Amino acid sequence: MEALREAIRRHGRHLGNGILKVDAFLNHQIDPALIAACGEELARRFRSLDPTKVLTAEVSGIGPALMTAYALGVPLVFARKHKPLTIGEDVFFATAPSHTKGGDVTLLVSADYLRARDRVLIIDDFLATGATILALARLALAAGAQVVGIGAVIEKRFEEGRERLKGLGVPIESLAVVVAVEGDRIVLE
pLDDT tens digit string along 114-155?
999 999 999 999 999 999 999 999 999 999 999 999 999 999
Is 139:118 a contact under the CB 8 Å cutoff? Answer: no
Q: Strand 53-57 to strand 20-21: parallel, antiparallel, or no bridges (unpaired)?
A: unpaired
The predicted pLDDT at position 87 comes to: 79
Do 74 and 53 contact (CB within 8 A), yes or no? yes
Mean pLDDT of the chain: 94
CB 174 within 8 A of CB 164: no
Q: Report residue 183's pLDDT band, with 50, 70 and 90 as the boundaries.
A: confident
As a CATH number, domain 32-179 is: 3.40.50.2020
% residues pLDDT > 70 (the chain): 97
Q: Which of 78-87, 89-98, 125-134 has the lowest mean pLDDT?
A: 78-87
Q: How many residues does the chain have?
A: 189
Across the range 177-183, mean pLDDT stands at 92
pLDDT at residue number 55: 98
Taking alpha carbons only, the member of 3, 1, 123, 6 closest to residue 53 is 123
Whole-angstrom Cα distance, residue 136 to residue 56?
7
* Contact between 125 and 60 (Cβ < 8 Å): yes
Please report the pLDDT score of residue 100 as a whole number: 65
In the chain, where are the structural domains located?
32-179
Instruction: For 156-178, write each residue's pLDDT tens digit.
Output: 999 999 999 999 999 999 999 99
